[in-house]
Structure 1
Amino acid sequence: MTTQQTLIGLDIAKNVFQAHAVDETGRCVFKRKLGRSEVASFFDALLPCRVVLEACATSHYWARIIRQHGHEVALVPPEAAKAFVRKGKKNDAIDAAAICAAALHPDTRYVPVKAEEQQSILSLHSARALLIKQQTMVVNALRALAAEFGIVAPRGTGKLDALMATIATAELPETMKQVAETLFQQFSTLRDKVSRLEARIEAHARTDEDARRLTSVPGIGPVTASMIVASVTDIGAFGSARQFAAWLGLVPRQHSTGGKPRLGRITKAGNREIRTLLVLGATSMIYRAPRWQSVAGAWLRGLLERRPARLATIALANKTARIVWALLSRKEVYSPRGRHAVPA
């Protein structure tokens, strides 16, 4: 039995795993339910073969574990495996068989397995995103509390010190002032933690060669560069700049039929974190467009004359993503093509 399988689809979970093995013709060789503690010994006893997992939580960890036992491991996107699950028939065994079927399909694209170092850098970004979300919640709660007592604060976290000074000197109930102080202390704690995480992210961006290369692109700072480098294991997996932009969900959704192309809004597929950072960077460049003296700046100003700012922002984020692909693929540093004078 163990000498016949050439491909194993492994459906992973917290404690229960399901293996589905097929031979070179695609015929099922065996099905096996495994406990978490049995996975390593199970693959250690098998002859080397190809093992395919669905790219999900903990999949990169298990891919590294199985690789240590001499097997070739690949990760398929969840949507690729989902296409082979029959409607109304879903369980662990069927999911494992669907992973096998997806791996046998010639058009299936795979997700590169991340190394521990990459995942550790991504943990910095995940923690930062969570703390920023909590920080926003606290700020909104503090502003709403002040508004209930007739104090309207300007937008921006930089205005909170002035808001707290107003609350401290106003004739307000002592209980309200204590609650406001508690919220402000929580905000200050979160702000300090975010600053420490960002310092570590910026240190990574300074020491990583690819990240330094990306920070030369207008609209990409250390946080964005670090996130891209930690998320993209192999830029060669994308055959073109458009494929990379599509992976980030920055290309238009198509509704074409009968030879008539119909393009809609962007797909928003793929890596949401990188897409968000690129859009934020593009937004900052929109404000700098009048002073951006380069071919890209002239292109952006011309686009803003014809299209709304929001559409121009997405177009610039798409363009930036393609530049990222070119720089990482060719190991180059961004260089603006010429300098255009800003119109008077």
Structure 2
Amino acid sequence: MSEITRVGVDLAKRVIQVHAVNAAGQRVTSRALARDKFMAWCAQLPAGCLVAMEASSSAHHWARRLVALGLDARIIAAHLVAPYRLQGKSGKNDANDAAAICEAASRPQMHFVPVKSVEQQSMLCIHRLREGFKAERTACVNRIRGLLAEFGLVFAQKPAVLRQALPDVIEDACNELGTLARLALQRAWAQWQELDAHLAWCDERIAAHLKVNEQVRQAEQLMGVGPVTASAVVATVGDFKQFRNGAQFGAWLGLTPRQNSSGGKNNLGAITKRGDMYLRMLLIQGAKSAVMTAHRRDDPISKWLHQLREKSGWQKAAVALANKNARILWAVFVRGKPFDARHVSVKPGMAAAAV
């Protein structure tokens, strides 16, 4: 075990495959371990040994435990591992996956996923739960509309209108609703109210995160960034210094255009949509509200946003503001300066020329 310098780990629910190599890259061992024996095996590795694994639901948990043992735990995004599987798509199995992870971890330009803390993952649990409740509430409301439409009862599209009218509709004896239909709607109405209560609880937890976390309060100052977006950004990213600059952070979120350039000719398309879909969605949705009200403000960002909306449409303007907000977030957290809507950025080269 002392000659092992790098280990690739393929995680699973019950069996964990490991592939270990020495300093020369030669295989030392490749074996499957029971889940309860994995940490005991890792405890025999030399201190500082690199242990890499694919990003998965339990990867951060294992990485924290390995770091506590004095090992160098790394997490790699799954799509960056696949090219290093020598057997290709037709040779996918646990042993080959572990070998591919081990090989990918040796690349000097490999991008690793920072290990999340327990606090970060706990806060993200609230966000994931909130998104699930939102989807369930939407399904519940649509289900109620469909049931009412079967009896010729149609209401305005806004949920608030249906929420106000539904109790009276259930109690109204003049409509065609049968006894079983009324009972079914009562159950659906109770489910709707329960989901509203769950969502309110999630919003309370996010508000508490905003109250106690200085970074969340700083992020909320940006135009088009509310408490939910600010909390999600801080909980997901953690250390913003992992990115070289704001442009790299925007690219990590999938907010930059995809390229198909060749022969010196640049050809840019739609945004790549890589990275965290939840963060990208929140930034774009928040940017939409800022785009629609940009004409009411006179700061430089709002003026630029209004001109872009008139030129290219509100959809492109919203994505552009989301990308700009991503860059501003990086600058705020890395440089330690509060957000200023009237700040005018100067490129380092231009500043040096002016001096």
| 1:137 CA drift (Å) | 0.5
- Give the match for residue 20 of structure 1: 19
- For residues 94-139 of structure 1, the C-alpha deviation after alignment (integer angstroms, 9 at most, x for no partner) is 1011011111112210000011111111111111111111011001
The partner residue of 2:176 within 172, 181, 199 is 172
- Give the match for residue 350 of structure 2: none
- Give the match for residue 329 of structure 2: 324
**1:80-91 alignment, distance < 5 Å:** 80-85=80-85, 86-87=87-88, 88-91=90-93
- Give the match for residue 61 of structure 1: 61
- Give the match for residue 232 of structure 1: 237
2-structure distance, mates of 1:151, 1:129: 29
| Structure 1 residue 249 corresponds to structure 2 residue 248 | no
2-structure distance, mates of 1:11, 1:338: 47
Q: What stretches of structure 1 move > 4 A for 4+ residues in a row? A: none
**1:263-274 alignment, distance < 5 Å:** 263-274=268-279
Q: Secondary structure at the match of 1:46?
A: coil
**1:125-164 alignment, distance < 5 Å:** 125-164=127-166
Structure 2: 5+ residue stretches without partners: 345-355
Structure 1: 5+ residue stretches without partners: 340-344
Q: Secondary structure at the match of 1:257?
A: coil
Moved more, 296-305 or 173-182: 173-182
| Structure 1 residue 110 corresponds to structure 2 residue 120 | no
| 1:166 CA drift (Å) | 5.5
| Matched-pair contact (CA < 8 Å) for 1:294–1:338 | no
| Matched-pair contact (CA < 8 Å) for 2:4–2:45 | no
Q: Secondary structure at the match of 1:83?
A: helix
| Structure 1 residue 122 corresponds to structure 2 residue 124 | yes
| Structure 1 residue 185 corresponds to structure 2 residue 190 | yes
| Matched-pair contact (CA < 8 Å) for 1:213–1:332 | no
Q: TM-score, length-normalised on structure 1?
A: 0.95
| 1:155 CA drift (Å) | 2.2
Letter in 2 for 1:83: P
Moved more, 79-88 or 274-283: 79-88
- Give the match for residue 71 of structure 1: 71
| Matched-pair contact (CA < 8 Å) for 2:151–2:177 | no
1-structure distance, mates of 2:213, 2:2: 43
Cα RMSD of the aligned pairs, angstroms, is 1.5
Q: TM-score, length-normalised on structure 2?
A: 0.92
| Structure 1 residue 33 corresponds to structure 2 residue 32 | yes
| 1:70 CA drift (Å) | 1.6
Letter in 2 for 1:97: A
Q: Return closer, same or farther for 1:338/1:99 CA change in 2, 3 Å cut-off.
A: closer
**1:273-288 alignment, distance < 5 Å:** 273-288=278-293
| Matched-pair contact (CA < 8 Å) for 2:19–2:99 | yes
**1:6-17 alignment, distance < 5 Å:** 6-17=5-16
| 1:156 CA drift (Å) | 2.6
Moved more, 188-197 or 305-314: 305-314
| 1:167 CA drift (Å) | 2.1
| Matched-pair contact (CA < 8 Å) for 1:74–1:113 | yes
- Give the match for residue 295 of structure 2: 290
